[in-house]
Every structure is written in C-alpha cells, then in structure tokens.
Amino acid sequence: MTLNETIKFIKMKIKESLKQDGVKASVNSKMPLIGNDSALDSMMLIGLCLALEDRARDEFEFDWTSETAMSKSRSMFRSVHSLAEEFIKQQRAQQ
C-alpha cells in the first residue's frame, strides 16, 4: 500500500464509524484522532486500529500499541496522516 492508499483507507474507515454513530464530521488527513478535537471515541479508534491490523495481516504485523502511541506530541494518532505514515513506516521496515 502507498501512503495515499493508506490515507484513503483510514478516512473510509473513520467515515464508516462516524456514520454508524450518527456523527457528522469532516474527515481529512489533518483530522486529529485523539484529544479534545477528535470526533472519534476510544472504541472507534480501537476499531480503526484493528482494521489496519487486518489490512496488514498478510504483509506485516502492524503495532499500534507502542509506548509512544498515546503521547500527544509524538503519537501516531496525532492525525490521519501521521497514522498512515506510521503504517507505511512499519510496512517498509518489515519487508
């Protein structure tokens, strides 16, 4: 998967989760995934991570449980883009 494909996949999964919960929010690559400005609740975030795990399953092991995962300043969950970058980084490292 490329970075753009990963961003599209993440945005699609977020839209699906928000739609299920009846939440209307704009989804873009700068959208925060954690913190006060996030439209996602913790269960939606976990669902997103599990979807990424499933997507990676045949190629590599996606680790979204690192020590820095929930750090606001360094977290892969700062935005859709940062999560996609981390996904691609792990994919390349394990190939």
Over residues 43-73, the pLDDT tens digits come to: 999 999 999 999 999 899 999 887 655 555 5
pLDDT of residue 65: 84
Evaluate if pTM is beyond 0.85. yes
Please name each of the domains of the chain with its CATH number. Answer: 3-93 (1.10.1200.10)
Coil, helix or strand at residue 51: helix
Kindly tell me the number of DSSP H helices and DSSP E strands found in the chain.
3, 0
Over residues 16-47, the pLDDT tens digits come to: 999 998 888 889 999 999 888 899 999 999 99
pLDDT of residue 70: 55
